[in-house]
Chains A and B, each alone.
Chain A
């Protein structure tokens, strides 16, 4: 039942449709249905937002601590330092995403060039 467990050409597409498309558009359609009926500030939506935020943050943490591909060959300390300093640059620059992203990339590439 995992993505690579079935060799049929169509299985990955079913996996994406059920595990991806249905799982996301369900919430979008529910949003249209409820549009105007519930308040954005209701307590249920606060809980919904904190759970979704924690889950996506967990993805971020995993991508930095346990990455794949070429990033897996870099040192964990360099990746965490690049992400932390990039995030600090984002906050200092008045929450400008482009500054935070570029700062992290710059530190990562410099660190790789200096073979840290």
Chain B
């Protein structure tokens, strides 16, 4: 039985903590850095993220997604824009392929973020599966906190530190989503309206702030207008159409401006 054998051998390093002292230094310093990562998650970006998950929970409940499904979505997708796109697709009655395509397009931006994070996080002896596992935690907030803090962390401890940040943010927000479902029905309508406004405002500000080039701002302005326009013209493919057309136009603007400067 190779699977259980693999688990047992991987487990050895953990059990070593209780059985023998020589290995305990490494293990305990890993857990110390893990806990420091947990503490780093309790930051202003972390707080803003929690409040936008409050907004997401309100949105998902409104769409008819159950509390277990919303908690599952939080843990398994873990990228708020993609989750909101997914809920948007659910509301508009999109088929699974159309929903997957829209979510895929919204999640492409995670790839360059991971590309930038991996060299910061990797130590000489880091095994690839650790990086693949930790990449699941990559989303705007944990990425911003990690890019800010990792430089000052001993290289060997960076994966433990990032596991602390990511694990804490995921757990906290699963709890938040569950809690909001429990109280949402009892809220006055003004509070519910205010909660639903959190998500668009969080994205509006964080997306503008995280744009790496001017073309990102052009793409954002185009998307803001094209989204509602295609919502009327092409209800089932509104997000896809706005993303492809708005994105291509912003990219054309980027090329044109560069050529203009070069000349």
Please indicate the chain B residues that have their CB under 8 angstroms from the CB of A52 in the complex. Answer: 105-109, 243, 247
Selected contact of A20 from candidates B77, B108, B114, B118, CB within 8 Å: B77
Nearest-neighbour CB distance to chain B for A76, whole angstroms, equals 10
Q: Residue B164 at the A interface, CB < 8 A?
A: no
Q: Residue A51 at the B interface, CB < 8 A?
A: yes
| Smallest Cβ-Cβ distance to A100: which chain B residue | B205
Q: Residue B189 at the A interface, CB < 8 A?
A: yes
Establish whether residues A32 and B95, one from each chain, have CB atoms under 8 Å apart when the complex forms: no
Nearest-neighbour CB distance to chain A for B114, whole angstroms, equals 3
Nearest-neighbour CB distance to chain A for B211, whole angstroms, equals 7
Given A16-B76, A61-B228: A51 in contact with B108 (beta carbons within 8 A): yes
Selected contact of A58 from candidates B72, B113, B204, B227, CB within 8 Å: B227
Q: Residue B226 at the A interface, CB < 8 A?
A: yes
Q: Residue B259 at the A interface, CB < 8 A?
A: no
Selected contact of A46 from candidates B63, B226, B251, CB within 8 Å: B251
What is the size category of the interface that chain B forms with chain A? Answer: 35 or more
Interface string of B123-135 (1 = CB under 8 A from A): 0000010011001
Establish whether residues B193 and A28, one from each chain, have CB atoms under 8 Å apart when the complex forms: no
A54 to B246, CA, bound (A): 6
Establish whether residues B111 and A31, one from each chain, have CB atoms under 8 Å apart when the complex forms: yes
| Residues on B facing A (Cβ under 8 Å) | 44, 48, 51, 58-59, 62-66, 69, 72-73, 76-79, 81-86, 88-91, 93-97, 99-100, 102-119, 122, 128, 131-132, 135-136, 138, 189-190, 192-194, 196-209, 211-213, 215-216, 218-228, 230-231, 238-240, 242-248, 250-251, 254
